[in-house]
């Protein structure tokens, strides 16, 4: 056996193997290009990956927690592989500092340089840059949360420098055929307060809501389209007490997080982070 460089992605030749092995054994698998076969193996430390008799062992992290659990502890942009049906990587910002680290950032706004008033396909596939303004993509959010119990951590940084947060115990998003339905259950804690799940008004609770964009109206507002009226995609009810994707630095961005943050003009940054239990 001899030490070789860590394999962080698969070759085209090994892509089919990646799909099979990710599904069967998670983030770690071996591939033999001569035999065109793959096999599972036990989790290995990332100080080095072994190669023996033509077998090359790969590490394909499904999310930022996978990376954190294997020694990657610096926040930044990484490649993750959240889907078992595709070997293609997704570039994501990993927060390795907040609450013990291992968080995958699914929404980020830092300077308002990017409009979040986009159509269904844009929200489906994602847009922006992971280290700047970014929506990771509804397909990816579904892949990251499907069949798992995941935390959702929401943070809002105000123009006065204060950073407020809310932690939801259980978060998941359905697939496109179910219009990326939002599921929130369990307890919440934090300094923002719960403006998504139990608002005190059933017309504004967001758990169970479908995703809406200006070209695909899935909300419960009978008079119009919430996404079109408020200029951003979101899980609208009729319409909302929480809405992080409104028009940046504008008086028309109302109720980013009612009643704690009432005006978008008071917001300097937002993030939504997820991590499986």
Tens digit of each residue's pLDDT (9 = 90 or more) over 85-118:
555 789 999 999 999 999 999 999 999 999 999 9
Is 77 strand, coil or helix?
A: strand
Q: What percent of the chain has pLDDT over 90?
A: 73
Rg of the chain over CA atoms, in angstroms?
20
Q: What is the pLDDT of residues 31-61, one digit of tens each?
A: 777 877 777 655 444 434 455 677 777 778 8
Question: Which domains, and CATH codes, for the chain?
Answer: 2-59 (no CATH), 64-276 (3.90.215.10)
Maximum CA extent, the chain: 68
User: Which ranges of the chain have pLDDT less than 50?
Assistant: 1-13, 43-49
Please tell me the predicted confidence (pLDDT) of residue 13: 45
Q: How far is CA 49 from the centre of its chain?
A: 28
Let me know: does 48 contact 6? Beta carbons within 8 Å.
yes
What pLDDT was estimated at residue 203?
Answer: 96
Dihedral, CA of residue 245, residue 248, residue 252 and residue 257, to nearest 10: 50
> What integer pLDDT is reported at residue 135 of this predicted model?
98
pLDDT of residue 19: 57
pTM, entire model: 0.87
* HEC per residue, 175-217: CHHHCCCEEEEEEEEECCCCCCCCCCCCCCCCCCCCEEECCEC
């Amino acid at each position: 056996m001899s030490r070789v460089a860590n394999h962080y992605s698969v070759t085209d030749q090994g892509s089919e193997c990646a799909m099979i092995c990710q599904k069967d054994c998670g983030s770690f698998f071996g591939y033999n290009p001569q035999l065109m076969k793959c096999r599972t193996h036990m989790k290995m430390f990332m100080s080095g990956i072994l190669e023996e008799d033509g077998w090359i062992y790969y590490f394909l992290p499904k999310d930022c927690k996978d990376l954190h659990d294997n020694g990657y502890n610096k926040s930044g942009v990484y490649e993750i592989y959240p889907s078992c049906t595709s070997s293609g990587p997704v570039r994501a910002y990993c927060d390795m500092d907040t609450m013990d680290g291992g968080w995958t950032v699914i929404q980020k706004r830092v300077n308002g340089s990017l409009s979040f008033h986009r159509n269904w396909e844009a929200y489906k596939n994602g847009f922006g840059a992971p280290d700047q303004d970014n929506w990771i993509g509804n397909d990816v959010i579904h892949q990251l949360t499907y069949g798992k119990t995941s935390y959702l951590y929401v943070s809002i940084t105000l123009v006065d420098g204060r950073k407020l947060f809310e932690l939801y115990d259980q978060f998941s998003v359905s697939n496109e055929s179910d219009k990326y339905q939002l599921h929130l259950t369990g307890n919440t804690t934090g300094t923002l307060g719960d403006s998504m799940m139990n608002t005190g008004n059933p017309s504004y609770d967001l758990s169970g809501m479908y995703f809406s964009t200006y070209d695909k109206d899935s909300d419960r507002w009978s008079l119009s389209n919430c996404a079109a009226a408020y200029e951003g995609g979101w899980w609208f009810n009729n319409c909302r007490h929480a809405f992080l994707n409104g028009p940046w630095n504008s008086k028309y961005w109302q109720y980013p997080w009612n009643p704690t943050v009432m005006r978008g003009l008071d917001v300097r940054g937002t993030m939504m982070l997820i991590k499986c239990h």
